[in-house]
Chains A and B, each alone.
Chain A
C-alpha cells in the first residue's frame, strides 16, 4: 500500500507564491521566464503546497529553474536529473516530483536515463525546455539542432539527424506525451497541469527560444500551431502521427494507461533482526 499523495490546499495559492526571491540570471528574452510562469500557474491551478513539490534539475540554463521556485529543489549534475527524481519519487511517493532541464542535458548525456525513465514509468513529470542549442556553453549543437546549423564546434552543421523526443518517449513507454510552447504560458500551464496530474511518466517538450544563440527562434511564434487532432490513447495511432510531425504541433499527443512504477510502501511489517535467523547454524 503506497503512501498517499500529499493533500491539495483547501485555499489555492496565487502563482506568485511559487516563485522564490532569487532573481533569475537568464538573458532577457529567454523563453524560460515563460516556462517558470507556466509552472507557477500549473502549481496554483492544482492547489499544491509548495513544500510538497520537488523540482529536480541537471545542468544548463534551464536547469537553474529549481532555485527560482519556492518549492524544494535539487540542482544536480549534467544529464542525471531523471535518476535523482526517480529515486526521490520511489522513496517519497507523497511528493509531486517535477524533473526539468534542457535539450542537451536531457537528450545527449541524459539520453540513456530518458529512455529508461519512459520504460520504468515512475509517476513524475519531465519538462524539457528545448531551444535546439547548448546555451550555457555558448552555442553548440544539441541533439535536437537542425543538421545544417553552423557553429564553431561543427562548422557547416553536424549533418546528423536530429533526435525526436516525442517519438522516443512514445516508443519507450511514456504514459503521457505532449509538446508546449513557452510563448503561450497559459496553454503551457494547462498542458503542464494535466501532465503533473496524469499518472505515470509524463513528458512535456516545451519549445523555449534562446534569443542569444538562436535569435531566429523569435520566429517560432509564427510557426507553432495547435495540433490538428486530439490526443489518442492508441500508441500505434500516436506513432503514425508523430512520424509526420512538423516539430511545431502543440498539444497532447498521447495519454496512455500504463500503471506507474511502484514506490516504496514506507510501512515496515518486519524487523531487521528477523533476518538474523537465516544465518544461525
Chain B
C-alpha cells in the first residue's frame, strides 16, 4: 500500500442487509480499536424491519477522544445496496471517500456515485471461496481493519470473546474469512492508517444508555418501573439483572402511567426510584409527574429523546421534548430538568440528577437523546457527581400530627417514612396544609406553592449547571448531543485563530440567570444551535433569561445529526 499519510480520525461505515451482520462487524472493529488504545464511537442506522432490514454500522476511530461523527465518511464497505437510499443521507461521501462494495451487489446508488468517490468492486463470494460458513461481514471487517491499520491480533481476540460462545467452527470460519479480507485489502492501494493513539489513559467503552443506567445506580436508585419504548429500553434491560444483587428490583409495568405511579409508591416508601422512556411515554407521565411535585416525592424520569411529534422516528434523535419537559405540567409545578452534555457525561449527570431529586424531594426529568443513548464510545471513567446529601429525614422520636409539609428551612421539610412511629401523614395531590390535610384555603395554597418554588430557587446547584469553555466575544449556546460537534467545530476555528465560547447547558430547570449572565459577560454575539425545528432551546432561553447580545439561531429537526464542519461553516459566515 502506498498511502502513508496518517489519519488522526477515520470514519468507516459498513452497510448491508438481511442478516449480513454489519453491526457485528462494526462492534468488533470498535472493540478491537479501543483495546489497542484508540478512541472511537459507533452508531447504528436500521430499517424498520425487526430482522433482515437494511443496516449500517457507522464508526469513527481516532487518536484523540471523539464524541460525534465527522463531516463525511472516509471508507464505506457495502455488502449490498438494498434500500441504501433510506440512510444515504447519514453516510455523506466526498471525492476523497473510498467505497468498496461486493461486485455481486450491482451498481451503487446515485447518492454514492454522485459524490465522486473512488469505487472498488470486489468479488466477495470468490474471496470467501470455499471457507465453510464464511460470512461477508467478516470479509468486510478484514478489509476495514487492514485499511485502518487495526492489528489482526486485536480483532481476533475480540472475535474469540464475542463469537466464542457460538462454537469453535464459527470462530474458525470467521477468522479465516477475516484473513481473506485483510489479504484482499493488501492487494489494493487503499491504506488509510490511523495515527497512533495519543494517550494510554484508562478508558471505558459504553453507550450513553449504559452510562445513564450505571450513573442512576451510583446515585442510589434501587426501584425501577419499566415500560419498553425505543430508544430507552436498553437502560431498563441493563438495569433489570443488576438491581437484585444491589437489593433492588425492576417491575415491568402495564403502561407508562403505571410506571410513574409505581415510582411514586416506592419513593414514598423511601426507596430512590427511576424510569426511562421517550417522548410519547413522557407525555403519558405528565399527570403522575405533577403529583410527585405536589406531594414532594423524589423520582427521576429519563427521556431518551427521539424524533417527534407523536410516534415520529423512534430510532432517530431530536431535541424537541424540551417544551414538554419544561412546560408539560398543569399548574405551577416547579421541578428539575437536567440534560447530559455528552455520552460520557450521561453517567455523572444521571448520578447527579438522582441525588438532586432526593435532596430536593422533587421529581426530575433527565433529557438524554438517541444520539447519546445509542452511541457506543470510548470515554474516560466518569467522576463522581456532587452529592448534596440524602433526603432530609424526620429524626425520631416523632410526635403526631407530623408536619410533613412545614414550609421553613428554605422549603425542604423533613420526611417521615412508613414504618416510622408517629410520623404518619397522607401524601397529597390536593392542595394541603403543613400536615398534608387537604385545604382549600388561600393561605395554605400560597404557602405550599411558595415552598416548592423556594426550595429549588434557593438551592446552590454549583458549577455543574453548564459547561462554560473558552473565551471570545462569540458564544455558542447548545445542549445534549449537539455539544460534541459544536466543541469540535470550535476546536477547528481555534486552530484558525478564531476564539469562541461554549455554553453547554446541563441544568435547564430551574433557570440560573446570574450564572448565565456571568458566563456571557463580554459576549457580543450569541449563536444558539439545536436539533429542533421550532427552536425550543432558543425560545426557552428567551423566556427564562435576558440574553445580553444579538442571537443567531442555527437549528433543524432530526434525524440527521449536526456535523462539526457545517457548524464551523455557519459560525464563519457570521464573522
Assess A/B contact in the complex (Cβ within 8 A). Answer: yes
Please list the residues of chain A having a beta carbon within 8 angstroms of any beta carbon in chain B.
Answer: 6, 20-22, 49-52, 54-56, 64, 66-67, 70-77, 80-81, 83-92, 94-95, 112-113, 115-116, 262-272, 275-276, 278-281
Which A residues touch B257, using CB under 8 A? 80, 83
Contact sample, A vs B, 21 pairs, CB 8 Å cutoff:
A22-B437, A49-B421, A51-B424, A66-B426, A67-B428, A72-B423, A72-B425, A73-B426, A74-B264, A74-B426, A76-B261, A80-B258, A83-B253, A84-B265, A85-B265, A87-B261, A87-B266, A95-B419, A115-B254, A262-B249, A269-B247
Which residues of A sit under 8 angstroms from B400, Cβ to Cβ? 70
User: Given A80-B261, A83-B258, is A74 in contact with B247 using a C-beta cutoff of 8 Å?
Assistant: no
Q: Is the CB of A268 within 8 A of B245?
A: yes
Chain B residues 239 to 266 lying within 8 A of chain A, measured CB to CB, are 242-249, 251, 253-255, 257-259, 261-266
The reply on B138 being an interface residue by CB < 8 A is no
- By the criterion CB–CB under 8 Å, are A73 and B217 in contact? no
**Which residues on the B side are within 8 Å of A81 (C-beta)?**
261
Which residue of B262, B291, B378 is within 8 Å of A86 (Cβ)? B262
**Closest CB-CB distance, B257 to chain A, in whole Å?**
6
Residue of B nearest to A55 (CB): B426
Which listed residue (A56, A70, A264) contacts B249, Cβ 8 A?
A: A264
A75-B430 in contact given A90-B223, A272-B218 (Cβ < 8 Å): yes
| B residues near A67, Cβ cutoff 8 Å | 426, 428, 436-438
Residue B98 CB within 8 A of the other chain: no
Contact with A along B210-252 (1 / 0, CB 8 A): 1000100110001101000000000000000011111111010
Residues of A within 8 A of B203 (CB): 280-281
* 20 extra A-B contacts, CB within 8 A, seeds A84-B264, A112-B258, A280-B202: A49-B421, A51-B419, A51-B422, A67-B426, A76-B261, A80-B257, A80-B261, A80-B288, A83-B257, A86-B262, A88-B268, A88-B269, A89-B265, A92-B269, A262-B249, A264-B249, A265-B244, A269-B246, A272-B246, A275-B217
Query: When the two chains form their complex, are residues A90 and B217 in contact, meaning their CB atoms are under 8 A apart?
Result: no
B418 touches A77 (CB 8 A): no
Given A112-B255, A263-B249, verify A90-B437 contact (CB < 8 Å): no
Contact of B35 among A52, A112, A281 (CB under 8 A): A281
* B427 in the interface (beta carbon within 8 A): yes
Distance between B530 CB and nearest chain A CB, rounded to angstroms: 29
Give the residue among B251, B259, B400, B438 with the most A Cβ atoms within 10 A. B251
Report yes or no: A74 in contact with B251, Cβ–Cβ below 8 A: no
Tell me whether B381 and A270 are in contact (CB under 8 A).
no
Q: Which residues of B lie under 8 Å from residue A20 when comparing CB positions?
A: 424
Inter-chain CA distance A15–B14, complex, in Å, is: 72
Given contacts A270-B245, A281-B34, contact A74 B424 (CB under 8 A): no
**Mask of B363-375 contacts with A, CB within 8 angstroms, 1/0:** 0000000000000
Among A54, A56, A87, A269, the one with the most B-chain Cβ atoms within 10 Å of its Cβ is A87
Residue of B whose beta carbon sits closest to that of A119: B254
Q: Give, as a whole number of angstroms, the nearest-CB distance from A161 to chain B.
A: 24
Instruction: Report the minimum CB–CB distance from B262 to chain A (whole Å).
Output: 3
Q: Give the 8 A-B CB pairs with smallest separation, nearest first.
A: A87-B265, A87-B262, A73-B426, A83-B261, A88-B265, A91-B266, A92-B269, A279-B204
Instruction: Using known A-B contacts A22-B437, A80-B288, A90-B223, determine if residue A75 contacts B262 with beta carbons closer than 8 Å.
Output: no
Q: Are A95 and B269 in contact (CB under 8 A)?
A: yes
Contact for B265 among A21, A75, A83, CB less than 8 A: A83
Known A-B contacts A56-B265, A270-B246; the reply to A77 vs B225 at CB < 8 A is no
CA distance A80 to B217 in the complex (A): 26
Asked if B429 is at the interface of the complex by the 8 Å CB criterion, the answer is yes
A163 to B102, CA, bound (A): 62
**What interface size band does chain B fall in?**
35 or more
For residue A70, which residues in chain B have a CB less than 8 angstroms away from its CB?
A: 400, 424
Determine the distance from Cα of A112 to Cα of B253 in the docked complex, in whole angstroms: 11
Verify B34–A264 contact, CB threshold 8 A: no
Q: How far is the CA of A94 from the CA of B52 in the complex (A)?
A: 49
Give how many A-B residue pairs fall within 8 Å (CB-CB).
187
Contact A74 B223 (CB under 8 A): no
State the CA gap A263–B202 with chains docked (Å): 38
Point out the residues of chain B lying under 8 angstroms from A92, CB to CB.
Answer: 266, 269-271, 418-419
B55 within 8 Å of A (CB atoms): no
Query: Whose C-beta in chain A lies nearest to the C-beta of B251?
Result: A90
User: Which chain B residues border A91 with CB–CB below 8 Å?
Assistant: 222-223, 249, 265-266, 269-271, 273
Question: What B residues does A76 contact at CB under 8 A?
Answer: 261, 264, 288, 291, 295, 427, 429
Q: Which of A50, A265, A276, A280 contacts B424 (CB 8 A)?
A: A50
Expressed in whole angstroms, the Cα–Cα distance for A155 and B257 within the complex equals 32
B-side contacts of A116, CB under 8 Å: 253-254, 258
Asked if B210 contacts A279 (CB within 8 A), the reply is yes
Taken together as a complex, chains A and B put the C-alpha atoms of A6 and B269 apart, in Å, by 14
User: Does B206 interact with chain A (Cβ within 8 Å)?
Assistant: yes
| B312 beta carbon closer than 8 Å to chain A | no
Given contacts A74-B295, A75-B428, A87-B225, contact A94 B266 (CB under 8 A): no
- CB neighbours (8 Å) of B266 from chain A are 87-88, 90-92
Judge whether B401 is part of the interface by a CB distance below 8 angstroms.
Answer: yes
Separation in Å of the A89 CB from the closest CB of chain B?
A: 8
- CB <8 Å contact, A113 and B254: yes
Residue of A nearest to B216 (CB): A272
Chain B contacts for A280, CB-based, 8 A? 202-204
- Tell me, in angstroms, the Cα distance from A56 to B258 when the chains sit together: 14
- Give chain B nearest CB distance to A152 CB in angstroms: 25
Mark out the residues of chain B between 515 and 555 whose CB falls within 8 Å of any chain A CB in the assembled complex: none
Establish whether residues B254 and A54, one from each chain, have CB atoms under 8 Å apart when the complex forms.
Answer: no
Choose among A88, A272, A278 the residue that contacts B217 (Cβ–Cβ < 8 A): A272
CB of B150 closer than 8 Å to a CB of A: no
When distances are taken between beta carbons in the complex, the residues of chain A under 8 Å from B381 are 276, 279
Residues of chain B within 8 A of A77, CB atoms compared:
261, 287-288, 291, 429
Is B115 interfacial (CB 8 A cutoff)?
no
- Are B265 and A86 neighbours in the complex by a CB distance under 8 Å? yes
Do the beta carbons of A54 and B401 come within 8 Å of each other?
no
Q: Given the complex of chains A and B, what is the CA–CA distance between A262 and B401 in angstroms? A: 33
Bound-complex Cα distance A44 to B104 (A): 81
What's the nearest-Cβ distance from chain A to residue B206, in Å? 4
Q: Which residues of A contact B426 (CB under 8 A)?
A: 55, 66-67, 72-75
Query: What are the residues of chain A within 8 A of B269 when measuring CB–CB?
Result: 54, 87-88, 91-92, 95
A116 to B254, CA, bound (A): 7
What CA separation (Å) do A265 and B534 show in the bound complex?
Answer: 47
Contact partners of B31 in chain A: CB under 8 A:
281
Given A84-B268, A92-B418: A75 in contact with B427 (beta carbons within 8 A): yes
Q: Are A95 and B418 in contact (CB under 8 A)?
A: yes
**Nearest-CB residue, chain A, relative to B246:** A268
Partner of A84, one of B245, B262, B378: B262
A130 CB to nearest B CB, Å: 22
